[in-house]
Structure 1
Amino acid sequence: MFVHMREQSDIAVFVRVVELGSFTRAADALEISKAAASKVVNRLEQRLGARLLHRTTRRLALTEAGRALYGRSASALAELAEAEHNVAQLTGNPRGMLRVTAPIYLGVTVLAAHIAVFRAKYPEVTLDLDLSDRLVDIVKERFDLAIRISSLQDSSLVATRLAPCPTVLVGSPAYFRRHGTPKTPEDLMAHQGLGYSIVKTPNEWKFRAGKGRWVTVTMPSTIRCNNDFALKQFTLDGLGLALFPRFFVERELASGKLVQAIPDYPPPELSINAVYETRRRLLPKLQAFLGFLKERFATEA
């Protein structure tokens, strides 16, 4: 049966709503209003004569008809995306929309400075840059690439190391005047920690105590937060000690506004990684952006 373009578009909106779990997030991803997304799904339900979604104030749930439609439609749309991929491979020129997600602090302090250069080099590639401190599911939310400072959790993804990322434990001079200066990791038990709440163990910190030996300390937590800019401000205000990527507090360390704690016991070095879905062949736009990032980070290393 022939499917009109508008009907195909309506189904694509429905699939996006299901994948993202809300009309608001789907509307943002599709660059339409929430009302428009809701209207499209209502129109689809009327045309099919079946309710597709159970709607409550807190969540959306698929009906039996909705599950049937989603199962077939999602796979069909994936095949269309693969067809686009194959055509793009034939042309060989980087072009089209590239969707990238990164933590807010990394996007603002590192990534944003390179975007103008990339656009000048690849003017046919447009960017949808999503800065968020939540752990984005790049497959479900259809991102081409994530920039992360973390280990890889999903085996269906590929991580390419862009640069080393040393971390540092810091506090303000005022904090150390009030609470004293720790000399060893064990001394931290008498201090106050500020934790990054997105990670599984916000106040469990590791420090190297010699060759091949690590000490793990669980810091008493005074504040937990999911945003590094806020955590840095709390640290500057003397509310506790916090772990940061060194690049994020380099200026404050240089100016003396923050001071490194227990420098003889460094925390583990992390990596800045480019994370993307496993594919036999990458789209030219993604290949171009990966190559560009590797080049820029290598230059700055």
Structure 2
Amino acid sequence: MDLSALADFNLVASHGGFGRASRASGRPKATLSRHVSALEEQMNVRLIERGGRELRLTPEGAILHARTVDPFDEITQAAAELKAGIGRPRGVLRVSVPLLFAHTSVGRLGTAFRAAYPEIRLDVIAEDRFVDLVSEGYDVVVRFNPPVDDTLVGRKFLSDHLVLVAPPHLPRPPDREGPVKLQAVVRTDHAEVPLWTVIDASGSVHTYIPQPVLCLSTTFMARDAVLAGAGAGLLPHSAVAPELASGHLVAWGKATTPAIECWVLHASRRLVSPKVGAFVEFLCAYFDERAPASDRTAGPG
């Protein structure tokens, strides 16, 4: 198989036509057409339906494109990196992160990463939605408690946990047998809110029945409502750490639910480029250095 012709076929298929591929690549349209025709003759199969206004791949062409486009992208990226300098982290790194992580960490993290790798431009998009890393053009994603996905690989770099917080002036309900009702700010619009079970600093277990006074869709709206005195809230520690340190909020206990795992992931089918490898290593080291010794449940490894 003529690999040059295959590369031109993928170029045309990816851009949706010979003209678009020619404009994007700067290669003559006639050359692209000739190479695709030669590939069809070599394989004895039609890959592109000609004659219509829009390019349409045949079923065989669609299969060939799906099976070969990623390897050729990797070859192109590897060649560019070799030309720029072997193993040198550089270029644009597109990262998708959840809103909570963006608000609590990305500003400081991005500045430190930029200082360490000045030839990488970090483009971070904050969004609370599922992101298809490959089809949407991301190099890396940060996700909380990601499901098992054999198309992605990565590392856990941080464990967060939920903590029951309240403003200092809000009286804590007295202990009694059985769950206790609690005026609460919740992050759900469900009719029923699960019980909140926490362990306080002395090791005692307390169970509360949240009585929602506000149902808010983001962590930071809920945090601000708790700060304003609306009620108690069960929130990620990372979202309220500054307020706990300053005394604007107090912690009534740590949730008994499993910790929130923070993962940095990239595509398993792609070779790990120097810029992706640099970001993953930096992220793990950054949070490992900042975690208290007793709280280092994640990090490199």
- TM-score range, shorter-chain basis? 0.5 to 0.7
In structure 1, the partner of 2:273 is 283
Deviations 1:91-146 (A, max 9, x none): 32112221111122312321220222322322222222111122323244232212
**Measured at CA, do residues 255 and 116 of structure 1 come closer, stay the same or move farther in structure 2, by a change above 3 Å?**
closer
Q: Which is worse superposed, 268-277 or 110-119? A: 268-277
**Distance change >3 Å, CA 191–CA 145, structure 1 → 2:** same
In 2: Cα distance, 1:89 partner to 1:135 partner: 29
- Which residue in 2 is equivalent to 1:229? 220
Structure index of larger Rg: 2
Aligned pairs for 1:237-248 (under 5 A) are: 237-248=228-239
Which residue of the partner structure matches residue 297 of structure 1?
A: 287
User: Which stretch has the larger CA shift, 291-300 or 85-94?
Assistant: 85-94
**Residues 166 and 232, structure 2, Cα contact 8 Å, conserved in 1:** yes
Q: 1:93 aligns with which of 88, 96, 106?
A: 88
Letter in 2 for 1:146: V
Name stretches of at least 5 consecutive residues in structure 1 with no aligned partner.
13-46, 53-64
Deviation of 1:249 after TM superposition, in Å, equals 0.7
3-state DSSP of counterpart to 2:179: helix
Measure, in 2, the Cα distance between the counterparts of 1:209 and 1:172: 18
Aligned residues: 247
RMSD: 4.1
Q: Verify: 1:127 aligned to 2:122, yes or no.
A: yes
What is the distance in 2 between the residues matched to 1:187 and 1:281?
Answer: 52
Amino acid at match of 1:131: A
Cα 1:7–1:80 shift into 2, 3 Å? same
* Aligned ranges 1:16-27 → 2 under 5 Å: none
Match of 1:157 in 2: 152
Distance in 2 (alpha carbons) for counterparts of 1:203 and 1:271: 22
Paired residue secondary structure (1:249) = helix
User: Unpaired segments of 5 or more residues in structure 2?
Assistant: 18-50, 292-301
Shift of 1:270: 2.5
Structure 2 distance, partners of 1:185, 1:160, is 42
Partner of 1:192, secondary structure, is strand
Which AA in structure 2 matches 1:115? G
- In the alignment, the residues of structure 2 paired with residue 78 and residue 279 of structure 1 have an alpha-carbon distance, to the nearest angstrom, of 8
Q: Hey, what's the Cα distance between the residues in 2 that align with 1:151 and 1:5? A: 32
Structure 2 counterparts to residues 1-301 of structure 1, below 5 A: 10-11=15-16, 48-50=52-54, 77-87=69-79, 90=82, 91-173=86-168, 176-177=170-171, 180-181=172-173, 183=175, 187=179, 189-195=181-187, 203-204=193-194, 207=197, 219-261=210-252, 263=253, 266-279=256-269, 281-301=271-291
**Other structure's SS at 2:149 match:** coil
Listed one character per residue, the Cα deviations across residues 171-210 of structure 1 (whole Å, up to 9, x for unaligned) are 2345x34xx526489535554341157xx99944664669
**In structure 2, what residue type is equivalent to 1:82?**
E
Maintained 8 Å contact 2:181/2:210 = yes
Q: Is 1:133–1:227's contact at 8 Å kept on the other side of the alignment?
A: no
Provide Cα deviations, 1:2-53, integer angstroms capped at 9, x if missing partner: 96999677439xxxxxxxxxxxxxxxxxxxxxxxxxxxxxxxxxx9425x9x
Partner of 1:27: none
Give the Cα separation in 1 of the matches to 2:62 and 2:188.
36
Q: Is the 8 Å Cα contact of residues 165 and 246 (structure 1) preserved in structure 2?
A: yes
Q: Distance in 2 between matches of 1:70 and 1:5?
A: 10
> TM (normalized to structure 1)?
0.64
Cα deviation, residue 291, structure 1: 1.1
Distance 1:4 1:139 in 2: 20
Secondary structure at the aligned position of 1:239 is classed as coil
- Amino acid of the structure 1 residue aligned with 2:234: L
Mapped contact 1:205–1:218 kept (Cα < 8 A)? yes
Letter of the 2:116 partner, please give it: K
Distance in structure 2 (CA, Å) of the matches to 1:202 and 1:81: 49
| Identity among equivalent pairs (%) | 27
**Take 1:78 and 1:202, find their aligned partners in 2: how far apart are those partners?**
46
Q: Secondary structure at the match of 2:141?
A: strand
